[in-house]
Amino acid sequence: MLSLILIMLVVWLLLGLLLAAWTLFFQGYIYSEPVSAIYWRAPAAAAALTLFLGIWMVLDYRSIGDREDEGRYQPLHNFSNKSTETYKHIWIITPDGKEDHYERRGNRYVRKDGRPLPTNPGSKIIASHEVNGDKHVFERKAESNEVRYYDKDNKSRYMRENYVGQVTTSHFSWLVMALILNFGFLIVWFLCLWLLLDFQWPHALGLAFVAWLISLFVLPMILAPAEKVRKERLPAKTATIIARSEAVSR
């Protein structure tokens, strides 16, 4: 955790130096003279930006619940509001109505006798993390460009026909929070340049947009160490824990 604090201190220091140097240079070029008291204005602007980044880092850090997870709140170019869950066991319904069991080995499902899962599993798939664990029923539905299997009890969860056993879930709340963080960062840049560094608002808006775009591409290098620390602190999630947490979420 100390390493993350040091990272934020370095970010604050670098931002303060860059903002001070850029403000003195650019305002001296486009205005009659640069803003006064840059000695406190630049550190204050850097502190506001670093505080926002710190909040972003904490939210991304806390979004990781397992060592296999990725940070949930990323810059727009890295962001996805979908999560993927892979089941260990699946059953398909045979023509005589029986459940045929397949277990995931490597990246495919095979039966006890080694027979692989058929290309067309049928109209229904039953999935579970454990042989005797909670089972979920997925029903086949043909759409305009692909075939999906939707969770009977939660239509936001589905499998693609080419990725049977892997459930994709869309999270609207993730999308909302990511938009708030990404565009909130733009607003903070604008307010710092306008109110603290005393750029005229049109100049502040244009400069904020450029600085924001650059920051979004640098941001993953700041979030990655926090995600690494989080994963090191978490135990590996077992199938039993997954099943229990899934049951609680329902």
Map the chain to HEC letters: CHHHHHHHHHHHHHHHHHHHHHHHHHHHHHCCCCCCCHHHHHHHHHHHHHHHHHHHHHHHHHCCCCCCCCCCCCCCCCCCCEEEEECCEEEEECCCCCEEEEEEECCEEECCCCCECCCCCCCEEEEECCCCCCCEEEEEEECCCCEEEEECCEEEEEEEHHHCCEEEEECHHHHHHHHHHHHHHHHHHHHHHHHHCCCCHHHHHHHHHHHHHHHHHHHHHHHHHHHHHHHHHCCCCCHHHHHHHHHHHC
CA-angle at 66, arms to 62 and 69, nearest 5°: 85
Q: Which residues contact 160 (CB under 8 A, 6 or more apart)?
A: 146, 147, 148, 149, 166, 168
- Is residue 16 within 8 A of residue 46, CB to CB? The reply is yes
- Distance in angstroms (rounded) separating the CA atoms of residues 200 and 35: 11
Ordered per-residue pLDDT tens for the chain, 250 residues: 788 899 999 999 999 999 999 999 999 999 999 999 999 999 999 999 999 999 999 999 998 887 777 888 999 998 888 888 899 999 999 888 889 999 999 888 999 998 999 888 888 999 999 988 899 999 999 887 888 999 998 888 889 888 899 987 888 899 999 999 999 999 999 999 999 999 999 999 999 999 999 999 999 999 999 988 888 888 865 443 444 444 433 4
pLDDT of residue 206: 97
- Distance in angstroms (rounded) separating the CA atoms of residues 105 and 155: 27
Q: Which residues contact 240 (CB under 8 A, 6 or more apart)?
A: 129, 130, 133
pTM listed for this prediction: 0.76
pLDDT of residue 203: 96
Closest C-alpha among 64, 21, 13 to residue 223? 64
Cβ neighbours, 10 Å, residue 159: 25
The gap between the terminal CA atoms of the chain, to the nearest Å, is 33
